[in-house]
Structure 1
């Protein structure tokens, strides 16, 4: 008789949790352990979404319900590939699903990218979301005019956080040190640059409108970039959402400037960054080349260049996944090589019992909700393969718990997350805030470990 399926999922963000939910729903006998290198679950919802996005953070409520399933366990503070090898996991689980996401910045590959004050958006996001493993110092005091390269939702988040006043952010879960940095900011103007036209913008209507909600910020769209070709018009006809985006941008391009004082976000379409310029090793400007539409949705350079006076550049041109030790990695697409979620070896053959879902499977595209259909495909393949998988020799939860204890790892569990969650909510009450986030990994682990 085949024993109930035991599966490990590596990554406790939405992709991993959705996969666990679908698996335990499709197979009522299956059990899942979700590992994460952080002591907390929820991945990019906690550490990749801007703090002034409570609507998106509310997804945690649905994810929490999934994690309460008695057949799903959370095992935090365990870095698979470092603390625990992939081959070790195979002794305890019939299958392993990797849902490690994408949290590092893609490169622009232009001169000057390595200058001081040339930042990856992911690094700034990790700062204002207080990621425990990333840099927690920042200096905005020397930045008056800044450039944000990229017009996706991450670019919008970065521009909005840079432009909003520090006190507006006090309604969010930012800790005191982030508020202090924002309060010390000298930013007056944020310039966003897009290589293509408005009909190729990647943000959503809701995200775009939120950019203009603050009384302390005015959004200015450069009218010379509001151009459309035949493919642009066709794209607008195919997508109601894109039409809404363009309508908002068109309204902003035509409105009169509002008298200050306030900060401004300038959106420039058809401007391709070609060089970040600097003096004494630090950013002092950005050079762009004017683009023109070619009729098929693409663009070409015109040979007309503009130098922008900026003191910092934030690159929001996409995230990338990182390789996992002992697994093949596609260095071109920057994902785990796979076919429908089944991992492939260097010869393109399926690796039995190993799977991927989410951004590490398909790249960092799509919204959080898209990971559900992505997980469904991976789980369907896993269940189809299940009869032929080699059962793990050590199957009980006590077996993996004993291994982790032998390694001396300070493991956290879901009950520990509930304790940390309650602690952060309580910390917000005296200052009239919904939550004050704990930033230290050591402190998070200590609170989560309380009996």
Structure 2
């Protein structure tokens, strides 16, 4: 039986589902082994570090990922940076095929004056901070900030707005960063304005995300710039929120529709967001913080071309015979967690078709990357190392009545994983 040796780069949902599709492939005289390589010491990508802490039901998909990791032929290689610790071409020399599932970690820029002012916080920085991502570097919020403007009408924008405006005590029973929850408890932010260029009927946030705001009983919700006429579910729900009685003294969440961002005001630090409302004139929304949540782009290693949308150039997931792409790196930041399963399966089908046609050969490369990493003093975190981290976080969570207390620095994560060896096949 031939062995197909594949490296999946990226251990998020797309990477996990790509590994699953490869390991379950029913191809005569062919068995797959999969090294899932990630720059972080921890797997599961967006589910661990991107999903809002107050969405535990979404995070429960990690149970599926753990079952995938238990399949024979799966190996996690954490803490290895493709493009820095090992190059794309070096991977090509050591595996029969590569599947890039990089996600999208670079924020899209607004391209307006004032974007470099202190107090402009890209959504990815805020998300990483409250999720205890090891790349987060302290609180991104300016001290004393009282009003924030979040630019965007997608789910990430609503997550950011909700995390800033809700009572932080709601987060004590989640896996949110302990330091972030403490900082939010001390934050004087009393109003968040969600600014979108489109109307309520055309906003890209999901109805479920919007419905969740209804549980914030201590937050007043207002709508500006849209007459909320129509029977679309999102419009009707926003109309219900806007018709609630005023709550003097309550924190406020304001939706500002039909407002195009044209600049950020301030001298050294943010003092306001400049918008064109309803296509007429320029208005300034006073604020201390601006959170652009307008999308993300892929950061790909040398050897992977990107198109004008910031995703990898491909055809049906094939970059070239032997090199493939799945997930956000393939289609851009769209869909839900489950979307990646079908997407990854489609890419793997193309890969297997290339094996069947002889476009790529199976079983030619067997040396792997272990020796090369050892020469470079790169110590990967294996699956057992991740599970040691997981156990340490859960034990800490039990002591404080939380699902887990995340280790938030690279040294702490590696210390928790210490003593583990890469699991052989």
State the alpha-carbon separation in 1 of the partners of residues 26 and 297 from structure 2.
32
- Could you tell me which runs of 5 or more consecutive residues in structure 2 were left unpaired when the two chains were aligned: 421-425
User: Of residues 47, 52, 56 in structure 1, which corresponds to 2:49?
Assistant: 47
Q: Report deviation, 1:283.
A: 0.6
User: Of residues 366, 381, 401 in structure 1, which corresponds to 2:350?
Assistant: 381
Contact kept, 8 Å, 1:141 with 1:184, in 2: the verdict is: no
Contact kept, 8 Å, 1:198 with 1:226, in 2: the verdict is: no
Match for residue 262 of structure 2? 274
Root-mean-square deviation (CA), in Å?
1.7
Match for residue 289 of structure 1? 276
* SS at 1:339 equivalent: coil
- 2:21 pairs with 1:22: yes
Aligned residues: 415
Q: Report deviation, 1:393.
A: 4.1
- 2:313 pairs with 1:337: yes
State the alpha-carbon separation in 2 of the partners of residues 167 and 390 from structure 1.
56
- 2:199 pairs with 1:197: yes
Q: Report deviation, 1:15.
A: 0.5
Q: Report deviation, 1:226.
A: 3.2
* SS at 1:191 equivalent: strand
Task: Give the alignment's TM-score, normalised by structure 2.
Answer: 0.93
Contact kept, 8 Å, 1:148 with 1:190, in 2: the verdict is: yes
Match for residue 217 of structure 1? 219
Task: Give the alignment's TM-score, normalised by structure 1.
Answer: 0.88
Q: Report deviation, 1:326.
A: 2.7
- 2:105 pairs with 1:103: yes
Match for residue 294 of structure 2? 317
* SS at 1:403 equivalent: helix
Output one character per residue of 1:68-97: Cα deviation in whole Å (capped at 9) or x when no partner.
Answer: 112111110111111011111122211000
Match for residue 307 of structure 1? 284
Matches within 5 A, 1:232-271: 243-260=232-249, 262-271=250-259
State the alpha-carbon separation in 2 of the partners of residues 132 and 415 from structure 1.
20
- Could you tell me which runs of 5 or more consecutive residues in structure 1 were left unpaired when the two chains were aligned: 237-242, 292-300, 344-350
Q: Report deviation, 1:48.
A: 1.0
State the alpha-carbon separation in 1 of the partners of residues 350 and 126 from structure 2.
37
Match for residue 423 of structure 2? none
Q: Report deviation, 1:180.
A: 2.5
Contact kept, 8 Å, 2:146 with 2:188, in 1: the verdict is: yes
Output one character per residue of 1:213-244: Cα deviation in whole Å (capped at 9) or x when no partner.
Answer: 1233222223x41356xxxx7xx7xxxxxx33
Match for residue 123 of structure 1? 125
- 2:304 pairs with 1:327: yes
* SS at 2:274 equivalent: strand
Match for residue 330 of structure 2? 361
